[in-house]
Structure 1
Amino acid sequence: MAHTHPSAMSRRSFLAAGSGAAVAMYVSAKTLGLEPGQPSANNRLNVAAVGVGGMGRHDIAQAAKTENVVAICDVDSRFAEQVAAQYPGAKIYADFRKMLEEQKDIDAVMVATPDHNHAVVTAMALKLGKHVFCQKPLTHSVGEALAIKELAAQAKTATQMGNQGQASEGARRICEYIWSGAIGKVREIHSWSNRRPDISPRGIPRPKETPPVPDYLNWDLWLGPAPERPYHPCYHPFAWRGWWDFGTGVLGDIGCHNLSAAFKALKLKWPVSVEACSTHWSAPPEITRETAPIASIVTYVFPPEGDRPEIVLRWYDGGMMPPIPKALGDQNIFDGDGTLIVGDEGMLWGDRLLPESRAKEVGDPPKMLPRSPGHYEEWIQACKGGPAPGSNFVDHAAHLAAVVLMGNIAIRTQKKLFWDAEKLRFTNSDEANALLNPPYRNGWSL
């Protein structure tokens, strides 16, 4: 059924990931009573993992350093059995709903399914009072991000999105440089990723072949809330990211890493507009409706606020890159993934102040933020009553994911879209609004 809109070791080191400094403290009510979410008598959490074929395997290994792993859930029995073998006593499941309904000793859940299943798993866990760690992007759609933010606020449990770089030293230095005035007033943000189509296949139509479903895979559960379609190995494992029904393209994959620090440092809220150009401009519908483009440029405009001027944020992928700033001459800084924040008096490439003359003049920024014990450690400590994690759903992750995912709607509609921050809708496109909250397959809901 359609869900309703409510009243989102790192694989790489991201210099420009978010700051994640948490100053607010809260203690979950669940932690103070004898309900799910409370650490066990020896102060070790009972943690379950949903989706362990990729980053989920790494995520649960981080929690296992100090906590109990009590359940492993994956629709692919190969992955479930391989990972569960490392944790004697952990029960194995294919269906997360069965796991959460039946295993009452679970305190916390780590979610690393394909993007289209993030919200349904996270929502159920939050409603049951569990702490949740969910990989980025937090959700598959803007509407889901808004719903998860509301559920997390109601649950008052510890939450964290898997944009690990937000806990880094570099993320804090970005904020401190900007807050100390080292680059003056920020007017532009450029962020890019060169993820290749052979790593994340896109710009392709749906396959016509319908091979049999492997005996190790529960295809119906893999689809979850996504529309029905035949199994094909081009979707599972890993290759799902470029398919709109399952993934969120390069922007959804990397945007929550690259843009987190800028959102925190500049306190970015909603953009007034978002538009995109991409290799989809001349592609037929059988491609544009199925997969993300091979390359795209997405432009967000954030309105002035207080003494901060208008900020234009541009995202580039598939080999598209910003112009090299004049101050850098012919120095090419745009290889790989990264972010450049441009101010009136200098710029930040990750946490490196440029040009060099400005860096020598300014030196290191003053330390204004507490340092993180680590991305996973933030979440585990919060589960036990510590500070809210730096990428918790309520204060940061859901909003960041929602704005990032707005860019995909601009790519798919090929229109300049204008946003009403009060009504949380686009003002000029019914097509775009329909993509804010796509319907779920029958039998699925938040």
Structure 2
Amino acid sequence: MTSLSRRRFLQSSALLASSTWAPNLLLGEDKPLSQLNIAAIGCGGKGRSDISEISPGNRMIALCDVDHQRAGDAFNSYPDARQFFDYREMFAEMADQIDVVTVSTPDHMHFPIAVEAIRHGKPLMVQKPLTNNIWETRQLGEYARKKGVLTVMGNQGATTSGTRLLREWIEAGLIGDVTEVHYWTNRPIWPQGPGLEFPSEPVPDYLKWDLWQGSVATDRPYSPRIHPFAWRGFWDYGCGALGDIGCHSFNSAFWALDLNGDFVVEASKVSPFDENIAPKRSTITYDFPAKGDRAAVKIIWQDGVGDPNTDKEFLRPPGIPKDLKLPSDFGQVFVGTEGVIYVPDAYCSATPQAFPKELMTKARKIERVYPRVIGGPTQELCQAVRGDGPAPVSNFVDHAGPLTEMVLVGNLAVRLGKKIDWDSDQMKARGLPEVDAYLKRKYRAGWEPELV
């Protein structure tokens, strides 16, 4: 084991050993709760799978969604849970009964809902990205810290065994110093690029369109081409392919290589886009300086990739076998001075592979350091609330916030077409004051944030 690996190994082991095992914050005592009362905000699509993940061992008492048709399956599955359109009404009527909150709405509504949950002192899971603008991301982390609320972001990779195995391999020096990490995806799989049309239609009676738009100042008429899925391509509502998948993919490098801090990012090969809609394709390169005993590392992100095995524009990562067929949806490769680690998905849910193949013999002898999580981020949060485990890895303060910020600065490089030298402490782009206009959204009247 190298001196770098040994030091990081000991630091990480000490960190886990000293982690505060959360007391039962709900009762103010240390004995565990057998069941927690869960309120889910956003119940269709990803919200439905989040409910399925958190419900075992717990009790669903409130279901809130602006679209009661899409929420219908959840409503039918949990008939005893109270149903709401407006999360503010839910908190006003039931806050004293709720133990944990899940937020699985479009990205633009993560912040106001999370603020309301934290204001009421409720542990919560918010889907990725934490928010879709940088000011909100920073404020949410600071607010959670101020209120002492347990939090987690819904990037499943932070809880997978593969992510923990990959970090153990890297810290043990399996591939030497990591110098590059490559990520790719076929996203977007929804409409993106300029010239798209979103014809308006009458708002159906099962949908509260005004609540769906929420804090966004741009007043757009309802279109079924925006809700329930194509909103991801809008800068206002989502944040394109990078925002959708970046918090999943980047998580592995962010955690294993300690990428919290300053970096330089530049976009290239960017297809056309406009002030409303993100591009269909881009390549984004991050450069992180050396930190402590960790070497400088380059992160290369490619989205809009068709088949990486035949796409002439695709930059194939070095070090992997030439005959290795790469998956078209997601993939990641860590390039080191002594080998590479390959993972054929975005979440490290698959077991990592090391090349040259002889490294796998060494990999099998590497000691397990990090505890495995069963049940994903929502169950990781519930375990912490009960006092059965440490605070989640991807909490807003130390992990999810800085990780989301890294992703969103990449989008700024796309939108401005300029290299960004990011000053994390100051939340500024050095020498580029024009970036400031993109850091915080303009809020719709009545939706201005109040973090008190």
Same structural fold, with TM-score higher than 0.5 when normalized by the shorter chain: yes
* Equivalent residue number for residue 122 of structure 2: 130
Q: Is 1:143 the equivalent of 2:146? A: no
Q: 1:28 to 1:207 in 2, by over 3 A?
A: farther
- Contact 2:133–2:440 (Cα < 8 Å) also in 1: yes
Answering whether residue 334 of structure 2 is matched by residue 341 of structure 1, we say yes
| 1:158-196 deviations in Å (ceiling 9; x for gaps) | 21111112212111111011000011011111111112x
For 1:370-401, what per-residue CA distance to the aligned partner results, in whole angstroms no more than 9, with x for missing partners? 22233232111112123111222122111111
1:307-322 alignment runs, 5 A limit = 307-319=293-305, 321-322=314-315
Give the residue type in structure 2 aligned to 1:87. Answer: Y
Aligned 8 A contact 1:116 1:140 in 2? yes
Aligned CA distance change for structure 1 residues 92 and 327 (closer, same or farther; 3 Å): closer
2:243–2:407: 8 Å Cα contact kept in structure 1? yes
Q: Which amino acid aligns with 1:365?
A: I
Q: CA deviation at 1:42?
A: 6.2
AA of the residue aligned to 1:315: W
Over 3 Å counting, the alpha-carbon distance change for 1:353 and 1:45 in structure 2 is same
Which deviates the most, 263-272 or 218-227?
263-272
Once the 2 structures are TM-superposed, how far is the Cα of residue 31 of structure 1 from its aligned partner?
A: 2.7
Q: Distance in 1 between matches of 2:28 and 2:395?
A: 22
Q: Distance in 1 between matches of 2:327 and 2:225?
A: 30
Residues 208 and 254 of structure 1: CA distance in aligned 2, closer, same or farther (over 3 Å): closer
Q: Distance in 2 between the 1:117 and 1:133 partners?
A: 13
- In structure 2, the gaps of 5 or more residues are 1-14, 306-312, 344-351
**Match of 1:429?**
432
Whether the 8 Å CA contact 1:324–1:332 is kept in 2: the answer is no
Please tell me the residue identity of whatever aligns with 1:156. G
Partner of 1:410: 413
Relative contact order, higher structure (CA 8 A, sep 6+):
1
Cα deviation digits, residues 111-169 of structure 1 (max 9, x gap): 00001111111111011100101111111111111111111112222211111122121
In 2: Cα distance, 1:291 partner to 1:278 partner: 17
The change in CA–CA distance for 1:365 and 1:73 in structure 2 (over 3 A counts) is: same
What secondary structure does 1:150 align onto? helix
Alignment-derived partner of residue 7 in structure 1: none
TM-score by length of 2: 0.87
Aligned residues: 415
What is the DSSP-based 3-state SS (H/G/I as helix, E as strand, rest coil) of the residue aligned with 2:174? coil
CA RMSD in angstroms comes to: 2.2
- Code of the residue aligned with 1:132 in structure 2: it is L
**Alignment partner, residue 205 of structure 2:** 215
Tell me the residue number matched to 2:79: 88
Match of 1:267 in 2: 258
| Deviation for aligned residue 1:28 | 5.3
1:13 corresponds to: none
Which residue, 166, 185, 194 being the options, matches 1:174?
A: 166
1:184-241 deviation digits (Å, cap 9, x = unpaired): 011111111112x5x3210133526322222221111000111211111111112211
Q: State the partner residue of 1:12.
A: none
The alpha-carbon deviation at position 336 of structure 1 amounts to 2.3
Residue number among 154, 163, 176 corresponding to 2:155 in the alignment: 163
How many Å separate the matches in 1 of 2:269 and 2:89? 42
* Equivalent-residue separation in structure 1 for 2:365 and 2:221 (angstroms): 55
CA offsets 1:247-282 (integer angstroms, 9 cap, x no match): 1111111111111121111111124211112433xx
Structure-2 separation of matches of 1:115 and 1:22 = 31
Distance 1:179 1:416 in 2: 31
**Is the CA contact (8 Å cut-off) linking 1:132 and 1:160 kept in structure 2?**
yes
Give the whole-Å Cα distance in 2 for the aligned partners of 1:116 and 1:22.
34
Assess if the C-alpha contact under 8 Å between 2:24 and 2:33 holds in 1: no
Secondary structure (helix, strand or coil) at the match of 2:83 reads strand
Aligned partner of residue 388 in structure 1, secondary structure: coil
1:378 matches 2:380 = yes
Answer yes or no: is the 8 Å Cα contact 1:25–1:387 preserved in 2.
yes
Q: Is the 8 Å Cα contact of residues 275 and 410 (structure 1) preserved in structure 2?
A: yes
* Corresponding residue of 2:282: 296
Which ranges of structure 1 fall in alignment gaps of 5 or more residues?
1-20
